[in-house]
């Protein structure tokens, strides 16, 4: 047995901030004791980590990543190996990625494919949601089996006709199944049928630059789809989790539903909090770096997102990490914005960007941990193994230096992508030491982890229902 003692830090969870020493045995947290107490002073350990002046926080839980995702004739540029290593550098110790059912294929075949991609390659722990592209009798039955084996959330798309798209009838059926088996439906809420009309019209009129990607994916079509998803979930008697919310009008739909007491939840992402259509409009095709769906919105939407995070109308910040290199990948869409692969890198930056939000006064320290660690773990059935620091929890712990200064750059990041969406941004705070199930994987500027340390995590059903 190995014992690690983290001494002298401020332990911050979603509920508490306490000066405590943390004792780890092998892969688990076994005890916390008041700093300086006779209990804490009496502890001995093989490794003592000095955390004086630092925060001791749970490892981040990023509930929305797409490593190696096939999209638009290419693949997301981070593999499970490079993406989870970058996650570790950024203080994230669990990812929940999306296995994909292709049309005409079973859920099982898609899930097996994703297990094969990830197994033996991850630096930190990982789990899967299942993307359901083909709702039929078989896939509905398979949903039950997947819930039983720990894949307890299913993503459907109101966007991308001909690829991932499900019509309202299929969505309703999947939600009814989720209501019965405990599976949580996650929704990409954009009216893809209407958007495709606007895309066609824009291209025909010669509006081909990246900024038109944002213009055709209208805010109203996000709000409309969000509203429809909420109503369908209500009819099915099912909870709902809306992914990557970006429009103020969509937040309003969520707030209304929650005021009515519904189990309706949602995430936003750092790109919607820190970037805007100004980035999409950058000249010389640079805007392509910021093409994702839902799209970036005008800056004035950001206030509604921050407010939603404060009032709990938005519960989670995930990255939707889905990187494509500018050279050779984003460039596929020169002259036609609809051919730009959709997605942004961010798995390494999320914890630090949200800490900057603490520094800037948008959220409290405890809320930072809640939206980045505790609630995503609860939402997707990983709590309290993940998302907190408590006796019995996995020892996924970050010693975080709140005073460190960093400048975000592709030159120094660890994601396998040739640009940073936050190039040149100054941030206060940085993970100093990152521990994954009791093993130090990052210490100061050294990577000590290895591919294959990360372990697949089965999940309970949603632990966040009211």
- Contacting positions for Zn ion (CB under 5 A): 320
Give the residue among 229, 98, 252 at the shortest CA–CA distance from 174.
229
Residue 274 phi/psi, 5-degree rounding, is: -120, -15
Kindly state the smallest distance separating residue 187's Cβ from Zn ion, in Å: 11
Residue 4 or 152: the one with the smaller Cβ distance to Zn ion is 152
Residue 320 or 352: the one with the smaller Cβ distance to Zn ion is 320
Kindly state the smallest distance separating residue 8's Cβ from Zn ion, in Å: 39
Kindly state the smallest distance separating residue 386's Cβ from Zn ion, in Å: 20
Residue 129 or 367: the one with the smaller Cβ distance to Zn ion is 129
CB atoms within 10 A of CB 60: 33
Residue 65 or 176: the one with the smaller Cβ distance to Zn ion is 65
Its sign, for the CA torsion 158, 164, 168, 171, is: negative
Distance, in Å, from the CA atom of 318 to the CA atom of 371, rounded to the nearest integer, reads: 9
- In order, the DSSP letters of 235-289 are HHT--EEE-S---HHHHHHHHHHHHTT--EEEEE-HHHHH--HHHHT-TTTGGGG
Residue 126 phi/psi, 5-degree rounding, is: -145, 155
Residue 209 or 320: the one with the smaller Cβ distance to Zn ion is 320
Give the residue among 59, 28, 34 at the shortest CA–CA distance from 392.
28
Structure tokens at 184: 């949580």
Q: Residues 91, 434: contact at Cβ < 8 Å?
A: yes
Residue 20 or 317: the one with the smaller Cβ distance to Zn ion is 317
Q: Residues 362, 306: contact at Cβ < 8 Å?
A: yes
Distance, in Å, from the CA atom of 442 to the CA atom of 428, rounded to the nearest integer, reads: 19
Residue 21 or 320: the one with the smaller Cβ distance to Zn ion is 320
The phi-psi region of residue 241 (left if phi > 0; otherwise alpha if psi is between -120 and 50; otherwise beta) is beta
Return all residues near 100 (Cβ < 8 A) that are at least 6 apart.
69, 70, 110, 113, 114, 131, 133
Kindly state the smallest distance separating residue 267's Cβ from Zn ion, in Å: 10
Kindly state the smallest distance separating residue 233's Cβ from Zn ion, in Å: 19
Kindly state the smallest distance separating residue 114's Cβ from Zn ion, in Å: 14
Name the residue whose CB lies closest to Zn ion.
Answer: 320
Kindly state the smallest distance separating residue 455's Cβ from Zn ion, in Å: 23
Distance, in Å, from the CA atom of 198 to the CA atom of 98, rounded to the nearest integer, reads: 28
Kindly state the smallest distance separating residue 377's Cβ from Zn ion, in Å: 19
Count Cα atoms within 13 angstroms, Cβ side, for 167: 3
Kindly state the smallest distance separating residue 140's Cβ from Zn ion, in Å: 22
Give the residue among 107, 116, 222 at the shortest CA–CA distance from 174.
107
Kindly state the smallest distance separating residue 226's Cβ from Zn ion, in Å: 16
Return all residues near 67 (Cβ < 8 A) that are at least 6 apart.
76, 78, 79, 80, 83, 84, 95, 97, 117, 118, 321
Kindly state the smallest distance separating residue 285's Cβ from Zn ion, in Å: 23
Residue 153 or 436: the one with the smaller Cβ distance to Zn ion is 153
Residue 131 or 304: the one with the smaller Cβ distance to Zn ion is 131
Residue 222 or 320: the one with the smaller Cβ distance to Zn ion is 320
**Residue 176 DSSP SS3:** helix
Residue 54 or 330: the one with the smaller Cβ distance to Zn ion is 330
């Amino acid at each position: 047995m190995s014992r690690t003692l983290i001494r002298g830090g401020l332990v911050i969870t979603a509920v508490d901030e306490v000066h405590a020493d943390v004792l780890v045995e092998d892969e688990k947290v076994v005890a916390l004791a008041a700093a300086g107490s006779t209990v804490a002073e009496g502890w001995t350990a093989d490794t003592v980590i000095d955390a004086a002046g630092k925060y001791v926080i749970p490892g981040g839980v990023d509930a929305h990543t797409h490593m190696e995702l096939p999209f638009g004739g290419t693949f997301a540029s981070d593999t499970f190996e490079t993406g989870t290593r970058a996650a570790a550098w950024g203080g994230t110790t669990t990812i929940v990625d999306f296995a994909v059912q292709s049309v005409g294929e079973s859920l099982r075949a898609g899930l097996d494919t994703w297990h094969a991609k990830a197994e033996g390659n991850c630096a930190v722990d990982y789990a899967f949601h299942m993307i359901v592209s083909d709702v039929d009798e078989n896939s509905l039955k398979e949903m039950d089996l997947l819930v039983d084996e720990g894949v307890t959330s299913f993503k459907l798309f109101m966007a991308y006709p001909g690829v991932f798209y499900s019509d309202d009838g299929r969505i309703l059926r999947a939600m009814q199944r989720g209501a019965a088996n405990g599976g949580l439906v996650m929704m990409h809420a954009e009216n893809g049928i209407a958007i495709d009309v606007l895309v066609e019209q824009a291209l025909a009129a010669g509006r081909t630059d990246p900024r038109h990607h944002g213009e055709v994916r209208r805010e109203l079509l996000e709000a409309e789809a969000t509203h429809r998803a909420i109503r369908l979930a209500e009819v099915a008697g099912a909870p709902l989790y809306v992914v990557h919310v970006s429009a103020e009008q969509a937040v309003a739909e969520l707030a209304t539903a929650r005021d009515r007491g519904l189990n309706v939840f949602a995430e936003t992402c750092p790109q919607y909090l820190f970037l805007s259509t100004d980035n999409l409009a950058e000249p010389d095709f640079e805007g392509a770096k910021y093409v994702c769906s839902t799209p970036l919105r005008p800056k004035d939407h950001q206030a509604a997102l921050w407010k939603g995070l404060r009032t709990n109308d938005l519960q989670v910040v995930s990255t939707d990490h889905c990187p494509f290199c500018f050279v050779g990948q984003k460039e596929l869409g020169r002259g036609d914005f609809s051919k730009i692969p959709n997605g942004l890198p961010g798995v390494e930056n999320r914890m630090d960007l949200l800490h900057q939000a603490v520094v800037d006064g948008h959220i409290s320290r405890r809320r930072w941990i809640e939206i980045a660690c505790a609630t995503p773990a609860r939402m997707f059935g990983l709590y309290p193994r993940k998302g907190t620091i408590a006796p019995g929890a996995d020892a996924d712990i970050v010693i975080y230096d709140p005073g460190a200064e960093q400048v975000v750059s592709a030159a120094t990041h660890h994601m396998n992508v040739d640009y940073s969406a936050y190039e040149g941004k100054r941030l206060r705070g940085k993970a100093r030491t990152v521990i994954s199930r009791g093993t130090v994987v990052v210490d100061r500027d050294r990577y000590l982890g290895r591919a294959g340390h990360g372990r697949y995590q089965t999940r309970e059903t949603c632990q966040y229902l009211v």
